[in-house]
Every structure is written in C-alpha cells, then in structure tokens.
Amino acid sequence: MSDVGDRRLVQPRGSASGVQPAPAVSPSPALQALLIALTGATGLIDAVSYLGVGHVFVANMTGNVVLLGFALSGAPGLSIAASLAAVAGFLVGACAGGRLAVAVSRRRRLWLSTGSAAQTVLVGAVAAATIVGALRPDGPSRLVLLALLGMAMGLQNATVRRLAIPDLTTTVLTQTLTGLAAESSLAGGSNPRSVRRIGAVVAMLGGALVGGALTLHAGLPTALTVTAVVFALVTVGFAVVVPDTVR
C-alpha cells in the first residue's frame, strides 16, 4: 500500500516541552477509514458507560466534566466518584499514550497497532470481568470498571491527537460540526472535507445507536464484548494497512 498523502502525518519534533503534534495533512483512505471506525467505537463505548454504568462518559471528557459539575451541584442520579474515576483513568491512559508516542511514533505501524492493542486488552478485560461478575455496573467495583474504560479511551485520544488529522479526533464532534456549517456553501465556504466530517458524525451516531441498543436489550457484558471486538478489528487494520516507517 502506498502511504502518499499521510507519510508526513507523524514527524516527531523534539522540543523542550516534549513531543508536539505533527503537521496536519490529508490521511490515506485506509487510515481515514480506521479513524472513522474508532469514532463509531467511541459512540458505542460512551453509550455503554452512560446507559449501563450510571450516567458517566469514558470517552467524551467534556461531557463528563459537565456531568461532574452537575453531580457537585447535587443533581440526582449522578455520582461524583464515578465521574472522577473515569477522568482519572482517562488521564492515566493519555499519559501512557503520550509516552508510547515518544518511544515509537517513528514506527507508525508499531505505534498505532500497539496503542490500539493495549486499548483492546483493557476493554476486553473489562468485558470478561463483567461476564464472570468480578466487575459490576453498581457498587464499588464500577469505579474500577470506569477507570479501566477511561484508560482505554485516554490511550486512544493521546494517539489520535498526535496524528493531528483535522475533523477526525474520534471522540468529539463540536469542531467537526462547526466546520461543517461554518465552511459550508451556505456560509460562503467551499465545503472542505465534507465527506470526512459527515462520515465522523454518522459513525458516532451509529456507534451510539448500536451501543444503546446492545446495553438496553442485550446487557452490559454483551455490549462491552462487541466494543472490544470492534477495537480488535481496528488493531488488525492498523497492523495490516499502515506503513511501518516514517521516512
């Protein structure tokens, strides 16, 4: 596979403060498809955590911080401890993802597939633990469940942030939707990257729909297992289609 178009996606640039995001350029179609798949998986896992583990997001930290504020204000049905567990896990995962990028980001296939494999293992372990009853969506063990899922999504966020591909952050859509409207022909723009932007929105909506249906009708263990399978497929995709060396 040719990597023309995304070869310069990850050009590590040392600085006194550490690794900086690479210049944003157009990704290859294969990489773009994998990131859209991750966007769908984000909708899926946030649906699982919000609907199945008590109104907490593990990927969308903007929403989770807002929910934490609601919980602090005394809003019923929300948990300060649960939101903090998800945020703490997310930060640990993001830190680990940043360290991985520092270590091996010049080996793009190794970097992306390793980060995605670690994410898959975390989500798969949570799914297995819920199947056997070691982790439950209620009681103290749910804090561990949320922290582990938060770690998985922190890894994803740190990796995708390092790629720095516009409109494919895989976890939030605010800027994507803003660009879709503000740069549309109706606003006097030229509709740049409209297919990519619409694809990201549809993917997250579809993931949330599937995650919600699975959680509500098939149960938390099934929903988490399906989520882990999606991450595993993305890992295989990174290992197969992404060139290994940045030149």
> For each of the chain's 247 residues, which pLDDT tens digit applies?
434 344 444 444 444 444 444 444 467 899 999 999 999 999 999 999 999 998 999 999 999 999 999 999 999 999 999 999 999 999 999 999 999 999 998 899 999 999 999 999 999 999 999 999 999 999 999 999 999 999 999 999 999 999 989 899 999 999 999 999 999 999 999 999 999 999 999 999 999 999 999 999 999 999 999 999 999 999 999 999 998 865 4
Give the C-alpha separation, 174 to 48, whole Å.
Answer: 21
Give the C-alpha separation, 212 to 223, whole Å.
Answer: 8
**What is the identity of the amino acid at 20?**
Q
Which CATH number, 1.20.1410, 3.40.50, 3.10.450, 1.20.1250, labels domain 29-239? 1.20.1250
Structure tokens that stand for 201 in this block: 């929105």
Residues 6+ apart with CB under 8 A from 168: 27, 32, 35, 36, 39, 160, 196, 200
**How do the domains of the chain map onto residue ranges?**
29-239
